[in-house]
Every structure is written in C-alpha cells, then in structure tokens.
Amino acid sequence: MKNKFNLFIIVIFLSFCFIIFYKGLNTSNNYIPKVNEKKNIPTFKAKEFYSNNYINSEKIFEENSYYIVNIWASWCVPCRKEHPLLIGLSKNKSVKLIGLNYRDNLNNAKKFINELGNPYSKILIDSDGVLSVEFGAYGVPETFLIDKDKNIIKKFVGPINEEILEEIKTIIK
C-alpha cells in the first residue's frame, strides 16, 4: 500500500515537471510587453527636428484629437517598410502623427524624410533614447496610439502593417 502511494506521488511529480517543461518549450523566450494597458502620456521637453527649439509635451498634444507617436530612425530597416503606410495614414484628418527620431544622425534622418516623404505633423529628436523610455518603448519601430484624453491606448511593437492600420482606423473613426 505504502509503495503504491509513493509510486503515485512520483508519477504525479514527474507529470507536473513534464507539463511545466512542455509548456516552457512552446512559450517564446522573447519578452512581449503588455501592450493594451491604458497609460497617461509622459510629460517631457524635447527638441524639434527642423527648428531645433525645445517644445513641451503639453504644446505637442494640445489639440482635441487622436495622436500617433511613431518611433523611427534612418538606420532602421523596418521603418522604411512601414513609412508608406504612415504617409497614407497622415492623410486621415482625425489623427495627428508625431515622429520620434531615435538615436539617429540628424543628416541621415533628414535624408530619410526627404527621400520617403514626411507623414509627421511634428518630429522630435530623441538623441539619447531617454524619451522613448519615458513612453515605455524598447526599440524601433514602435507606435503608440493616444486618445483624446491623452492616454496611450495601444502600443504596436514592430513595423505597422495593413492589419494594424485597419485597427487604428477603426479606433479613430
């Protein structure tokens, strides 16, 4: 009776270990952040891309409109891929696009915009990446959708695609 009980315990324990490891094999070990949590936009002061003047976040997000903050860089290949979609989105009047130029060479960034077009109503310089951390980003490209109450309601990690674009359009309708 005792041996049977011990065997039962061992089987249960081994099954438990098997399930844990099996689940672990199927889980990605890359960190996927919580992207759909409502967060307030950070308050900050940043340099403007063209004028080189400092501007406050209150001034940037002053209009009663949806905003999209897109983190990009000229050295980022996926940014090039998503750029035409951003150009298309910039024609939508219910949303304003703010670009955050991440750890970039200013001349290369200007070349990038001249070559591919400017979808942004404002571009801010984030030369040391601190501003992106304030937004909770950890790479490029990354896109944040901000509602009229100035809350970050969506975060898209990686380049924007048609599916994401449709999702954004549905929200801002």
Partner 1 sequence: MKILKILSIIFLIIGLSPLKSDEKNETLKNKILKNVRCLICQGQSVYDSESDFALSIKLIVDKKINKGLSEDQVYEFLRKKYGDWIIYDPKFNKNTYILWLLPILLFLFGGAIIYKKILKKNNEKFL
Contact 158, 141 (CB under 8 A): yes
| Choice between 78 and 129, CB closer to partner 1 | 129
Return the range that interacts with partner 1 (CB under 8 A); candidates 11-19, 26-34, 50-58, 116-124. 26-34
Q: Give me the phi and psi of 138, to 5 degrees please.
A: -135, 10
132 touches partner 1 (CB under 8 A): yes
- Closer to partner 1 by CB, 82 or 142: give it: 142
Indicate whether 12 belongs to the interface with partner 1 (CB under 8 A): no
Q: What is the dihedral of CA 169, 125, 46, 90, to 10 degrees?
A: -20
Please give the DSSP secondary-structure letter assigned to residue 54: E
Please give the Cα distance from 163 to 34 (Å, whole number).
Answer: 19
Q: Does 129 sit near partner 1 (CB under 8 A)?
A: yes
Among 55, 80, 90, 134, binds partner 1 (CB under 8 A): 134
CB neighbourhood size of 39 (10 A): 14
**Interface characters, 93-112, with partner 1 (x: CB under 8 A):** ---------xx---------
Residues that bind partner 1 (CB under 8 A): 29, 31, 33-34, 39, 102-103, 128-130, 132-136, 138-139
